A and B are shown apart, each in its own frame.
Chain A
């Protein structure tokens, strides 16, 4: 080593190093600490409460005992609960899969003309909160004066209502239908990713169309379809709002509503220990399902052959099947539209009424005026604005920093970060909301809007991180290195280069979180007090009151408001993807 090197004073450069690294490290460390606290705190609380023999919410259980678990699973109640949950999950997934894959096949692989209509329904459906569609179905199918029941009774002169919304079957139907759009999107992806030349190859080599489908196409699609089925099963197991809206009256409890009932017992002391035990079990089921899902997707990745660009499979001619296909799709359209239509109808009437020509004379906007002037709703509206803006913004901020760490940092830290932030995807929202309730129960935060914001940030950061990190992975690292060498600090590099380059995904993530935060009922209902009401919980309160016309008006306003965000977003993101192509992406 030359003497010049060792003779130089070390003080200045050493200090400059410390200052610089602190920017990236400090922000990263804060973000990580926040995530660890947000995710880890409630889970710890949940587990320790479930083990606490006294059934109190606690971080430090007096002893460790399986009392709560034993009580949770003592017959005869347990059997019904497990059977209900299993039937509910399986049934809903089957409906969603049958509807979703038929639509996907029609739009992806045949010359079906109404393709755009299907896509439109599917994307617009993102704006409909599941419990709103449940409220619509209740108005259509309730045994007393549900519109469809009344219609069937008069048409066929029946003595009693033929359909009952308050049943396990109806709950399955409503859930399956409301999940069909996401299922359609996922299955379209599976079909689109398949290499259709494999099919053509089978036909060239002498297989008939049916044989090619059975021997080549189906086996190729199976892992992907299975993965979708398992993913959706996970969603249904976690589903809270439809079972809440329908199942409570129907007396068909499932795991998620049981947790709610135990945690919020109206007349008795809440059974936190018992609810926590159920929560842990539900969590275990969800983790099992996501493990299975990851396993299958890894298998199906192996099957996947990347399709050459510009290769489009020949669309099957529908021929005579066109008419039944069109009828079925229009019927589907009708089924999707009906619950919204009845909500709209009732929102325009002074009191609940089944649709009729005579009622047309009574149409009025007074419900909308009332809703607009009600103090509860005004408060809920502003709370929702604060909730949505702060949740989406803070979650995306966290997502960006955390994605950065998980994508760019070395081995162990990156992997740990990835697992940590993805964990909430596997955790049922009702369990999370309940765990958060336990954690903040005795703090001033409880009952405030802040606790809902904290819960939403915890839940939605996982989704934001997923979107951001997958787009960061595609960013060529030389793009950010060029900024660093040009003299930009870490913050400037993030602000001027990294974030602008992934801006479409960041915006998409922001809007996704904003929409889901606005339409979520699970967290607000479980953490609801008089001061932290948001639109979703306000809607439920009015519905329960019951003031069905005003509830309908509020539901319609929510759907329209969400649609204004969702639909242009979908159009824009499709256009943007077309326009910007793959510029700035790693093309190796």
Chain B
């Protein structure tokens, strides 16, 4: 549906060059919910604007529905108004001088051949109904709440049945409760309409819950691409592990093994960990162990000895009760780890415990030095 090849874009800002997007290639299958995830400033908005035609890339190809809308080699650059897309902006961009109805009807009024008044009316009303805004059609946009404005933006982006729905951090301006509500709502609408969506966010929860497929970005490049559980369970870089799932990154060395099944013993600053290695990691090589915050289990009383593989003594120096869990800073030997413990663990810092590292929740990455 959407194919991007070798897309690059550099901004010229005050005599300095900002390489915002660097040789990005992506494929978005028809009907899928595709997410660009990455920290702020990594180039997500730039990619989205290149897809929409609001920015002109320096190089590369963008193809929608099998036809190029931008190609540096073929010298093609379709203007945004010819691309037949829908877009939801971070600031909503609901036009304050128009009513809700006029906002949503706008894309229909631009379609060629012209639509009849009646058709515009029915389709606009249907779009408003689908985002549950039927009651406020005649209100001026500034009189709406943030959540309602977001719905107007969504209805406006969908009313003309675009080939592609682009969403640029649509939830970031909403408060926590509305954000969750809109998350499900957007997911529902997109799936119901079967539309292909490209969603931009810096929030891992949004990305993991909503997407069929995620492209993780860093510094203008795509560093990993895959289904949400792929990204979460099989990070391919320390960045991916840290950005999705807040993994602790522990440097280590393969001290024993690996055996035929790939099991090996790794020396880390806080002790020895028994873990499965990915293929291709040899004995004696330096690696990173990714320990998820939830990969530690407190074993009070039942602890064997600390000398046993995967059992360690930790000291918790800070603990915050979040509600569903307790987040703490743990010290094990010279290492500092972020940990997440069950809400019923009775801890009072400084708290010393023996924990088991659940190695099926850990990932080993070969170190690239």
Residues of A within 8 A of B (CB): 1-2, 4-6, 8, 10, 13-14, 16-17, 20-21, 410-411, 476, 478-479, 481-489, 492, 496-497, 500-501, 503, 580-581, 583-584
Contact = CB atoms under 8 A, between A and B. Distances in A.
B81 A10 contact: no
B76 A13 contact: yes
A584 B81 contact: no
Interface of A is mostly: helix
Nearest to A481: B54
A584 B63 contact: no
A485 B91 CA distance: 15
A584 B142 contact: yes
Contact of B79 (A5, A20, A496): A20
B3 A2 contact: yes
B106 interface: yes
Nearest to A1: B5
A583 B141 CA distance: 9
A503 B98 CA distance: 13
A1 B52 CA distance: 21
B107 interface: yes
Interface string B83-113: 1111101110101110000000011001100
Contacts of A1: 5-6, 61, 73
A584 B144 CA distance: 13
A479 to B, nearest CB: 5
B75 interface: yes
B82 interface: yes
B275 to A, nearest CB: 39
Interface stretch (B64-72, B278-286, B309-317): B64-72
A192 B73 CA distance: 56
Interface in B234-253: none
B73 to A, nearest CB: 7
Contacts of B166: 485
B261 to A, nearest CB: 39
14 contacts: A5-B61, A8-B74, A10-B68, A13-B78, A16-B78, A20-B82, A479-B93, A484-B79, A486-B81, A488-B106, A488-B110, A497-B95, A503-B97, A581-B142
A489 B83 CA distance: 12
B106 A485 contact: no
B81 A485 contact: yes
A483 B77 contact: no
Contacts of B12: 410-411
Nearest to B88: A482
A584 to B, nearest CB: 4
Contacts of B257: none
B5 A5 contact: yes
Given A476-B91, A485-B52, A487-B111, A17 B63 contact: no
A5 B27 CA distance: 13
B290 to A, nearest CB: 34
A14 B70 CA distance: 10
B6 A484 contact: no
A483 B106 contact: yes
A483 B93 CA distance: 9
B82 A481 contact: no
Contact of B76 (A17, A481, A483, A503): A17
Contact of B5 (A2, A487, A497, A500): A2
B156 interface: yes
Interface of B is mostly: mixed
B221 interface: no
Contacts of A485: 52-54, 80-81, 83, 85-87, 157, 166
Contact of A14 (B52, B61, B75): B75
B95 A13 contact: no
A496 B106 CA distance: 9
A583 B111 CA distance: 28
Contacts of A500: 97
Interface in B275-329: none
B120 to A, nearest CB: 13
B77 A484 contact: no
Nearest to A503: B97
Given A8-B74, A10-B74, A479-B95, 14 more contacts: A1-B5, A1-B61, A4-B66, A8-B66, A14-B74, A16-B82, A17-B76, A411-B12, A478-B89, A482-B156, A497-B95, A580-B142, A584-B96, A584-B142
Identify which of B49, B54, B79, B156 gathers the most chain A CB atoms within 10 Å of its CB: B79
B81 A488 contact: yes
A486 B68 contact: no
A10 B74 CA distance: 7
A489 B156 CA distance: 17
Interface string B1-44: 00101100000100000000000000000000000000000000
A322 B71 CA distance: 74
Contacts of A17: 76-79
A482 B168 CA distance: 12
Nearest to B12: A411
Contacts of A2: 3, 5
A5 B69 CA distance: 10
Given A10-B75, A482-B87, A486-B110, A501 B95 contact: yes
B160 interface: yes
B178 to A, nearest CB: 18
Contact of A482 (B77, B79, B89): B89
Nearest to B81: A487
Contact of B93 (A10, A16, A482, A489): A482
Nearest to A584: B96
Contacts of A410: 12
Given A478-B89, A496-B106, A484 B81 contact: yes
A483 B276 CA distance: 53
A6 B74 contact: yes
Report, nearest first, the 10 A-B pairs whose CB atoms are least far apart. Answer: A487-B110, A584-B96, A486-B107, A478-B93, A583-B142, A482-B93, A20-B79, A484-B80, A478-B89, A485-B87
